[in-house]
Amino acid sequence: MSETPPSISIPADLLPADGRFASGPSKVRPEAVAGLSAIAGDYLGTSHRKPAVKQMVGRLRDGLSELFSLPDDWEVVLGNGGTTAFWDAATFGLIEARSLHLSFGEFSSKFAKGVAAAPFLADPVIVATEMGDRPDVDPASLGRDNVDLYAFTHNETSTGVSQPLLRPTGGNPDAIVAVDATSAAGAIEFDPAEVDCYYFAPQKAFGSDGGLWIALCSPKAQERIKALAAGPRWIPDFLSLGIALDNSTKNQTYNTPALATIYLTVDTVEWFNANGGLSWSAGRSAELSGIVYDWAEAHDLATPFVADTSKRSPVVATIDFDDSVAVDDIAAALRANGILDTEGYRKLGRNQLRIACFPAIEPDDMRQLTKSIDHVLAQLTQ
């Protein structure tokens, strides 16, 4: 960023109606906030073990089962703390002895690092690539006899790379596939038959807030959770997936949850389902990211960071800019005009914008964003 970033005013006819393009926490729909306000007197500030909240948790579990077309024997499990807490919970309660991790960004590497530090587990197998790429996902190449959990990431939020979900073949037949889906869930389609535990926090595609993790668990995952919970391993109650599973079947959480987060997630899930389900919400994200990628491909000063189009995320678009312009100045000018959180991921350290393409964003707003960036670039390069 220049010492004194230039003051740039973007004409009103170029601005999006809503300027929130953060990759998480993401845009919350005004309709959801209004809905929460309407029920606040009977819902917020009430016991999470009484009917008002338990009914909301039940709506959330039922809505997610419908959205993801889950078989009847799957369970939607909820717990407090977000995805970071779930990584610790999975370290205690989902890995028997050894895991394999595909690492291709900041967030996919964090789970692997946490597992490597666990004194009661064997060193994990880590298959890594450079930022902007992803490891080979050929199922036949990943099967390992000495691995009981495969840790995948559906979408790497830091780099804008997505990964297809395919169950490894060969190797340990009892191994389970656990997928970090925080920035993908609700915005990228997948086949539940290819995974056993699909977990996420709802502050991205579900337009909610933090403080909650949600895990879609197959019968195999449930069996693993119960076996480890009943075994000799010490597991803190707050991180016990066994306790979380037991409470979730009663439509409650072990500790008091963030009630606003639950409601906002319910509102978005039901909005998705009312409009056509996962195919609709995923299609909306694909449309949004297509607008960004097409704009960048045609631009003289911008280019998509992820070169391989088959690996580009449909929910988080990372766009590099020519060194002749400082991307920090672009982001600062956008922020000064009410367009928020387009900065690139801090640890990636590239001359880059990172633009969320979650379903709550209106396609017309995304088009307006590209026009606003064009205007800023014209002012910076004149």
The tens digit of pLDDT for each residue in 191-207 reads 999 999 999 999 999 99
Provide the pLDDT for residue 80: 96
For residue 382, the model assigns a pLDDT of: 87
Backbone angles phi, psi at 88, to 5 degrees: -65, -40
Residue 137's pLDDT is 82
Question: Binning pLDDT at 50, 70 and 90, where does residue 3 land?
Answer: low
pLDDT grade for 319, boundaries at 50, 70 and 90? very high
The amino acid sitting at 204 is K
* pLDDT at 1 exceeding the cut of 70: no
For the residues 332-344, what does the mean pLDDT come to? 97
What pLDDT shows up at residue 30? Answer: 97
Mean pLDDT, range 358-380, rounded to an integer: 98
| Confidence at 15, pLDDT banded by 50, 70, 90 | very high
Q: What is the pLDDT of residues 136-171, one digit of tens each?
A: 888 998 999 999 999 999 999 999 999 999 999 999
Confidence (pLDDT) at 138: 86
Q: Is the pLDDT of residue 365 over 60?
A: yes
Cα dist from 188 to 26, 98, 162, 359, whole Å? 16, 28, 9, 10
C-alpha 161/C-alpha 47 separation (Å) is: 40
Average pLDDT, the chain: 96
- pLDDT higher than 90, residue 24: no
What is residue 6's predicted lDDT score, i.e. its pLDDT? Answer: 66
Q: What does the pLDDT read at residue 185?
A: 98
| Rounded-to-integer distance, Cα 223 and Cα 118, Å | 22
The dihedral built from the CA positions of residue 60, 63, 64 and 65, taken in this order, carries a sign that is: positive
Q: Which amino acid is at 154?
A: H
Residue position matching structure tokens 């678009």: 317
- Mean pLDDT for 22-31 is 95
- Cα(251)–Cα(261) distance, rounded to whole angstroms? 15
- Residue 104 neighbours by CB under 8 Å, 6+ apart: 128, 129, 131, 133, 134, 135, 153, 156, 159, 161, 163
Q: Are 313 and 161 in contact (CB under 8 A)?
A: yes
- pLDDT digits 0-9 by tens, 97-106: 999 999 999 8
Element (H, E) at 153: strand 149-153
